[in-house]
Amino acid sequence: MTTDPALLDRITIRPDVFGGKPIIRDMRIAVEHVLGMLAAGDTAETIFKEYPILEPEDIQACLHFDHSST
């Protein structure tokens, strides 16, 4: 997984969307939802089937965001 700081640019926070929780690329897909799917054992392929608008870098950004916020 790349640790390119530009990955974090994919994560946005808007007070009017999900109460200000981090979201992916200003869409209504919460970082915590993607991380929860991964924690539940879903694969990236499963996530892409459910959310075809997502890109591989979005999942990397979620993981990087989670790591950088701990």
Q: Is the pLDDT of residue 59 over 60?
A: yes
Residue 25 near residue 12, CB atoms below 8 Å: yes
Which pLDDT band, with edges at 50, 70 and 90, does 1 fall under?
A: very low
For 4-27, how does the pLDDT look when each residue is reduced to its tens digit (9 = 90+)?
A: 778 999 999 999 999 999 999 999
Residue 38 near residue 30, CB atoms below 8 Å: no
For 26-54, how does the pLDDT look when each residue is reduced to its tens digit (9 = 90+)?
A: 999 999 999 999 999 999 999 999 999 99
* Residue 5: Cβ-neighbour burial (10 angstroms; 0-12, 13-18, 19+): exposed
Can you read off the two tokens belonging to residue 59? 């999942």
**What local confidence, expressed as pLDDT, does residue 3 receive?**
56
pTM for the full predicted model = 0.87
